[in-house]
A = this chain, B = another copy of it.
Amino acid sequence: MAPKSVCIVGSGNWGSAIAKIIGYNVQRQPDAFEKKVKMYMYEEIVDGRKLTEIVNTDHENVKYLPGIKLPENVVAIPDVIEACTGADMLVFVLPHQFVKKVCEQMKGHIKPGAVAISMIKGFAITGGGIQLISHIIAQELGTECAVLMGANLAKEVAEEEFCETTIGSKTDSTGQLFKDLVETPYFRVAVVKDADTVEMCGALKNVVAIGAGIVDGIKQGDNTKAAVIRLGLMEMIKFGEEFFPGSRRNTFFESCGIADLVATCHGGRNRMLGAAVVESDKTIQELEKEILKGQSFQGPLVAREVCSMLEEKGLCDKFPMFVAVNKICQRVMDPKLFISCLRNHPAHL
């Protein structure tokens, strides 16, 4: 088979970290992959120069991943159609709010038989519930779309600290193809078929992380925090069973499950939000302005949509933590009451 050509759609912090890996990996496997890796990059001007030009000349994304050299075979392209044309493999690492618009531009320019993978964490919030981002990509482009999720902070991956990740792919061949593309001695990949669960974990963990942050904020110890993380995991599993039929418990043992959850509940911005909600009376919007300089926290958005889905199905009493986190984020419940909502958790019956 001819070597596959790869296009990375997105070039932020995480996109640049994964571009470093992919750039090296295709060089190591010339029979499997084409050397040139095209990376779609939204054009910006940084210190009077085009960011694509900086990346293609200096081989560093000075704005989103400063200090890390990218392989020279990664080529930044500001036109998404030019970038994706002819690609056999499409790697999506855009901020989730741009996925639909970018896919609409790409439509009609996709090589027949191309396969995609989404490395984008979070749900697409449509107002009428949630949608998996891989499903949007698959629908828009008519391609198969796998997912990659795990405890993978971009900076640590870029610095080659050891971590693991999970690829969820409905077909073995696509899963293996993307594993070959991204696995390195410091970035270890397990492949599972239960792709929807893998993707779901990457969004729901942020709701649990707010809960873990609340525990930190109310100054409870490691045991209480461990209980909250576990009860959150139980609700993630239950959510999978209710909304993604066929969801498998074993998937939660993968990096996308417990590992990402544990990392997010100990570091991560949603944990920080949970603690901040206890320590001040400010609204989420005010805290976003302060902590994230205007970006949004995923956790509160996901909590809100998840709770409206639970309400519709009459399932709120089976998910006391998701419900409490949502109420606390909406500022209609005192965070000090968080723990009392968990005392009669269905996991204890």
Minimum CB–CB distance from A172 to chain B (whole Å) comes to 13
* Interchain Cβ contacts under 8 Å between A and B, 15 examples: A151-B226, A151-B230, A162-B339, A163-B224, A163-B227, A164-B231, A186-B343, A189-B348, A222-B268, A223-B263, A226-B259, A227-B259, A230-B258, A237-B253, A258-B258
Q: How big is chain A's contact interface, by range?
A: 35 or more
Contact B343 A230 (CB under 8 A): no
Other-chain contact of A249, B224, B249, B255 (Cβ < 8 Å): B249
Contact partners of A258 in chain B: CB under 8 A: 226, 229-230, 233, 258
Contact A259 B229 (CB under 8 A): yes
Given contacts A153-B221, A185-B343, A221-B156, contact A226 B262 (CB under 8 A): yes
A268 vs B222: C-alpha distance when bound (angstroms): 9
For chain A residues 204-223, which have a beta carbon within 8 Å of chain B?
A: 220-223
Contact B224 A161 (CB under 8 A): yes
A positions within 8 Å CB-CB of B? 151-153, 156-157, 161-164, 185-186, 188-190, 220-227, 229-231, 233-234, 237, 249-250, 252-255, 258-260, 262-263, 266-268, 339, 342-343, 345, 347-348
Contact A162 B234 (CB under 8 A): no
Contact A226 B162 (CB under 8 A): no
In this complex, what residue of B is CB-closest to A179? B348
Minimum CB–CB distance from A263 to chain B (whole Å) comes to 4
A250 vs B233: C-alpha distance when bound (angstroms): 12
* Copies of chain A in the complex: 2
Contact B266 A222 (CB under 8 A): yes
Minimum CB–CB distance from A54 to chain B (whole Å) comes to 27
Other-chain contact of A162, B152, B153, B164, B227 (Cβ < 8 Å): B227
Other-chain contact of A226, B253, B260, B339 (Cβ < 8 Å): B260
Contact B163 A223 (CB under 8 A): yes
Which of A185, A189, A226, A263 gathers most chain B CB within 10 Å? Answer: A226
Contact B153 A223 (CB under 8 A): yes
A345 vs B186: C-alpha distance when bound (angstroms): 12
Contact partners of A190 in chain B: CB under 8 A: 347-348
